[in-house]
Amino acid sequence: MVAPMEIRTVAPAVQPAVEQVVSAAFGEAPDGRVVQMMRALEAGGAARASLVAVIDEQIVGHVGLSRGWVDARRELVEVLVLSPLSVRPDRQGRGVGTALVAAALETAGDHGAPAVFLEGSPDYYGRRGFSSASALGFERPSTRIPDPGFQVALLASYQRWMVGRLIYPEAFWTTDTVGLRDPELERVEAQIASN
């Protein structure tokens, strides 16, 4: 029998276990860039939601939502950025990430956010409610984000005038977690060009 999965808000007591899941999912050291980004988002007041997937009282996945902005012509619009999405390597491919993305979008809607942005695979996230942000009139915060990976999910409070450049919170820049760097960026761009 498969144990049921529960999505919960992160409690401070489980933060070390969350960081272990994130480090493992990204193949980083325990104090790697993605964990540093999460800490900086929290310390800087940009973190808006942090959710975990729990099976048999073990944390198997995590998703974070932080504040960002769209620099629209009419006014600055507060939006949410989904990052990071992490699933323990031994639990990947079993629906944990899908459940976390769905919970994050529901949470974002409950917060009244008009849109949720992310950097990621259009194949993966396209099946989970996201589409090309550029095609909808949004501009990437960095040219190091390959255009197909710049994704958005529009929510109920979105209005058509809310387009412009996405602005990330400072923590993304200070931890250098925006987009890709060469040689990985060069490899991904070559792959996109060949398709």
Q: Identify the DSSP state of 139.
A: B
- Pick the closest to residue 158 from 116, 114, 107, 117 (CA basis): 114
- Could you give the CA distance from residue 143 to residue 195 in angstroms, rounded to a whole number? 20
**Do β-strands 76-87 and 58-72 pair in parallel, antiparallel, or remain unpaired?**
antiparallel
- Please name the residues in contact with 174: beta carbons below 8 A apart, sequence gap of 6 or more: 40
pTM of the model: 0.95
SS3 category, 181: coil
At 56-98, the pLDDT tens digits run 999 999 999 999 999 999 999 999 999 999 999 999 999 999 9
Q: Are 140 and 50 in contact (CB under 8 A)?
A: no
**Do β-strands 76-87 and 115-119 pair in parallel, antiparallel, or remain unpaired?**
parallel
pLDDT recorded at residue 3: 73
Q: Are 113 and 77 in contact (CB under 8 A)?
A: no
pLDDT recorded at residue 195: 81
HSE of 63 in the Cβ direction (CA atoms, 13 Å)? 24
Amino acid at 29: A
Which parts of the chain have pLDDT scores under 50? none
Looking at domain 5-194, its CATH class is: alpha beta
Q: Are 88 and 24 in contact (CB under 8 A)?
A: yes
pLDDT recorded at residue 72: 98
